[in-house]
Structure 1
Amino acid sequence: MLKFILRRLGAALVILFGASVLLYVLVINSGDPLSDLRESNADNREYLMQQRIDNMNLDLPWYQRYWSWLTGVGKCFALQCDLGTNRSGVSINSLLELAASSTLRLVLLATLLALVFGISIGILTAVRQYSGLDYGVTFATFLFFSLPVFWAAVLLKEYMAIGYNDWVREPDFGPVQIIVIAVIAGFLMQVFLAGSMRRRIITFAVTAGFFAAALPSLTALEYFRNPQLGYIGVAVLTFAVALSATAMAVGVKNRKVLYPALITAALVSVVQVALYNVFVYYMNWFIMIGGLALAAAIPWFIGRSMGGRYKGIAAGVSVATGVIGAGLTVVDHVFRAWPGFLGMKPRPIATIGSQTPNFGGDFWQTMLDQGTQLLLPTILLTIISLASYSRYTRASMLEVSSQDYIRTARSKGLPERTVIFRHAFRNALIPIATIAAFDFAALIGGAVITEQVFGWKGMGELFQTGLREVDPNPVMAFFLITGTAAILFNLLADIFYAIIDPRIRV
């Protein structure tokens, strides 16, 4: 394996070198970096031109300028990168740090959401092949995949930002809106749960009735301006997660898995009350990340200790319960901060920028500000990526499900959940790993349009500015990040293959 990795890294360096030379030559020959100054009538035009020539080393041959850039990149191996300056003399290192942090915050979240929801939808549609749910999801995914990014972004701005901001000032639902929402929710739920016609009718009636009663009640309680889960809400939902995860994994009758999950849910319920003041007065990102790490480590230990021969499954279910329960606790405190946030920012969903300038809220309000700025571009990138993940997962699951070992597992009487998640799904992950690896790098490069529409100062803006100003250093910084990400994640996908399927190691 080590020899394989070294060989792949060597080939990757050769590819990066060749591509960087080609890109550098194309950029410097795409226009005149002094064109705006040549047309200027300023008295100090000659001084400004000379200053730009010095900043961009335009008095040197292109290969010397490229070599200077390559030498600076080589210093990255010693953690002392020097990517030069832009035409104004600003360090590319500082620009890249700001741009990369902005874009990665967007891309990582969108990729994670697309993976989770896409794979889940793909598994569900494969299990329910040729059902109404399968056809509906197929139509929706192809619709999302074909959406023009700029057009979808305009729709999101209009309805999820401007429209929502107008509505949230005085949240209300008219009779027609309640009926429409209740009918749509009931229809979708009966399609999702399926079953006999009698079961579908009951599901539709119960769901529609619930929404018809809940929406006016929530409006009367001003829940949309003052939402809360509360201690009881977090506890109930966490226990529901424990039961659901156990049922999906091995069934609730397996006490070796059920008990660790329930103990984890109880711990989450106790900790959220005990640490209330910490969440309110002392919370920061270090505490939050540390808390999430503990929410995974402690349940893992509980599951491994109590799971017996099911210790791997018990640990996984317990970790899922702990992490989701911790997430619900965070959501509850975000809800508690929402009224104060609306007081500081009456129109909460922003359409431009990655954060509000000079925003002076506390930790939770600042988190809400950055989250609402992140909402629209994340939704846009997620729904576009969702299509490919769900379709590839479905196709891969259907292909694996026809294999002999799946039929053997069913003939041995194994529960269907075991056949799907422990036998079929693991072997269906290989093509998904390939897509995820390339999609991450592609999203960094493909977020150029999204960042422009939503006014994010990220990698896309850095790339566009470099091209527009015929300045190679910003463009090369963009190439360095995206190219390296593509190659490294492709290598990680190859290693992941060997973890999923031991035969590949040979």
Structure 2
Amino acid sequence: MLTYIVRRLIAAVLILFGASFLVYVLTALSGDPLEDLRQSNAPNREALIQQRIELLDLDVPPVLRYFAWLSGAVKCLVPFALTCDLGNSVTGIEVTQLLGRAMGQTILLVSAATVLAIIIGITLGIVTALRQYSGLDYGVTMMAFLFFSLPVFWVAVLLKEFGAIGFNNFLAEPDISFAATIICGLIAGFLFFLTSGGTMKRKLLWAAIGFAFAFALVWFLDFTGWFLTPGFGPIVIALLSVGIAYGVTLLTAGLKNRKALYSSLIVVGIGVIAYFAVQPLLDRATLLMVILLAVATVLIGLVVGYFMGGYDKRQNMNAAGLTAFLMGFLILLDRFMQSWPDYFDNNRINGRPIATIGSSTPNLEGDFWVGGIDIYTHLLLPTIALMLISLAGYSRYSRASMLEIMNQDYIRTARAKGLGERTVVMRHAFRNALIPLATLVAFDIGGLIGGAIITENVFAFSGMGQLFIDGLQARDLNPVMGVFLITGIVALVFNLVADLVYSVLDPRVRVKA
């Protein structure tokens, strides 16, 4: 394995060297970086031209200039060297400084969208494969093709119009009409009808339940003014967590494993007590404190699962740990909601919290929770735009993969042996269905750092993609090469990761030395 990794890394270095040489030379020959100065009427034009020539070594041929750039770029790959040098831009700013800002913006913009698209897309694909040719299958397929066909800039503009401007106008006078409440109930009833199985009578019953639940929920939110003072509270968190405990146990161990179910429910009881205990601590929260509390929460769940015993402690630990994590997320979300009025009434927000441009509100005053809400409101719309476009592909790939797996001989053998459907799907089919997706997911995550150029333009994010385009248009070579270097390294690394994940998911696949 180690020999294989070393060999792949050597090949990756050679590929990166050849590709970077071609990109550097072609970009250098594509235009004149002094064009803007040559057209300038400034009295010191010649001095400015000479200054840029000396700054960027433009009097040196591109091939020799590449090796000078490479000598500085190699230092960026040496651990603990602390001498990374990717040159300067035409404005005199160090490229490393430009990349630092751009990477932060890009990671904020697209990481959450990609992770959500992977999770939701794969989940939808597997569920529709198990319910092939049902109303749910047809509905998800139609929506997947619709989202896949929509231009991302059009989706972004619609989200800005209705998701930001429209919702901000609604928050000025948050009153939901009776007709809108009925429409929400009908939509929920239709979704329940599509997702339910069995006879028509059973589907209609679930549709009625969905309609009644959505109607009551929307009416309650409107009646209590929840949109201006949102929150869950301990009772709602406890009820939701009990549902999570049952759902997680069903997926990870099966409800017949009472030890796993009891472990999850014990974690819920501990979480309800912890809800009151951590409130004073959360008032002084920092990012490090939240991370440490999250780690402690998961560890408590694992410990509870371990000491519950039973024939399979691993299942107990998985169920309890995941339940603890999700319940902790609900408590964290509730604490953010408690700070919503402080954010909404801030004089920098002016009662219009859903942002349409940028990644944060300038000069915003507030604590950790207000700052977190501000980041969330700025990332909400671009995240949705990217997620809707991306999850369509994941749902289609995962559906096709799952359908192929479910028709394999070993799946029929597992069913013939009397294994439950949950065991067949989760332990035998699900893992193998992920194998073809490993390459797709690895390349998509590797492409994260390249930026989403169109979305960055629409929502005014100065990310990696925008930095690359601006560099090409200005014939600014060093920023272009900086973006290429990072994107190329990430792509090659995740290409290697995809091969290693294959060997983990499928024992028949072994990397060869």
Q: Does TM, scored on the shorter chain, surpass 0.5?
A: yes
Distance (Å, rounded) in 2 between the aligned partners of 1:446 and 1:354:
14
Q: 1:387 aligns with which of 384, 387, 392?
A: 392
Q: How does 1:32-431 map to 2 (within 5 A)?
A: 32-76=32-76, 77-79=78-80, 80=82, 81-280=84-283, 282-344=284-346, 345=349, 346-431=351-436
Distance (Å, rounded) in 2 between the aligned partners of 1:91 and 1:354:
23
Count of aligned pairs between the two proteins: 505
Distance (Å, rounded) in 2 between the aligned partners of 1:30 and 1:293:
51
Higher helix share: 1
Deviation at 1:491, TM superposition (A): 0.9
Deviation at 1:297, TM superposition (A): 2.4
| The 10-residue stretch of structure 1 (310-319 or 360-369) with the greater mean CA deviation from structure 2 | 310-319
Distance (Å, rounded) in 1 between the aligned partners of 2:119 and 2:431:
15
Deviation at 1:212, TM superposition (A): 2.2
Deviation at 1:447, TM superposition (A): 0.6
Matched residue SS, 1:25: helix
Distance (Å, rounded) in 2 between the aligned partners of 1:301 and 1:103:
37
Q: What letter is aligned with 1:329?
A: I
Q: What letter is aligned with 1:94?
A: Q
* Alignment-derived partner of residue 15 in structure 1: 15
| The 10-residue stretch of structure 1 (355-364 or 437-446) with the greater mean CA deviation from structure 2 | 437-446
Distance (Å, rounded) in 1 between the aligned partners of 2:95 and 2:316:
48
Matched residue SS, 1:488: helix
1:149-198 CA distances to partner (integer Å, 9 max, x unpaired)? Answer: 11111111111111111111111122222222111111111211222211
User: Is the contact made by 1:249 and 1:418 (CA closer than 8 Å) also made in structure 2?
Assistant: no
Deviation at 1:475, TM superposition (A): 0.7
Distance (Å, rounded) in 1 between the aligned partners of 2:14 and 2:272:
54
**Structure 2 residue runs without a partner (length 5+):** none
User: Is the contact made by 2:451 and 2:464 (CA closer than 8 Å) also made in structure 1?
Assistant: no
Q: What letter is aligned with 2:229?
A: N
Distance (Å, rounded) in 2 between the aligned partners of 1:145 and 1:307:
47
Distance (Å, rounded) in 1 between the aligned partners of 2:63 and 2:270:
63
1:329-379 CA distances to partner (integer Å, 9 max, x unpaired)? Answer: 111011111111110121111111111111112111110101111111111
User: Is the contact made by 2:451 and 2:463 (CA closer than 8 Å) also made in structure 1?
Assistant: no
User: Is the contact made by 1:239 and 1:262 (CA closer than 8 Å) also made in structure 2?
Assistant: yes
Distance (Å, rounded) in 2 between the aligned partners of 1:206 and 1:428:
33
What is the root-mean-square deviation of aligned Cα atoms in Å?
1.4
Name the % identity.
Answer: 50
User: Is the contact made by 2:343 and 2:373 (CA closer than 8 Å) also made in structure 1?
Assistant: yes
Distance (Å, rounded) in 1 between the aligned partners of 2:96 and 2:369:
30
Deviation at 1:211, TM superposition (A): 2.2
1:104-158 CA distances to partner (integer Å, 9 max, x unpaired)? Answer: 1222211110111111101100100011110110111111111111111111111
Matched residue SS, 1:503: coil
Deviation at 1:311, TM superposition (A): 2.0
Deviation at 1:446, TM superposition (A): 5.2
* Alignment-derived partner of residue 29 in structure 2: 29
Q: What letter is aligned with 1:414?
A: L
Q: Is 1:3–2:8 an aligned residue pair? A: no
Distance (Å, rounded) in 1 between the aligned partners of 2:379 and 2:495:
27
Distance (Å, rounded) in 1 between the aligned partners of 2:490 and 2:341:
40
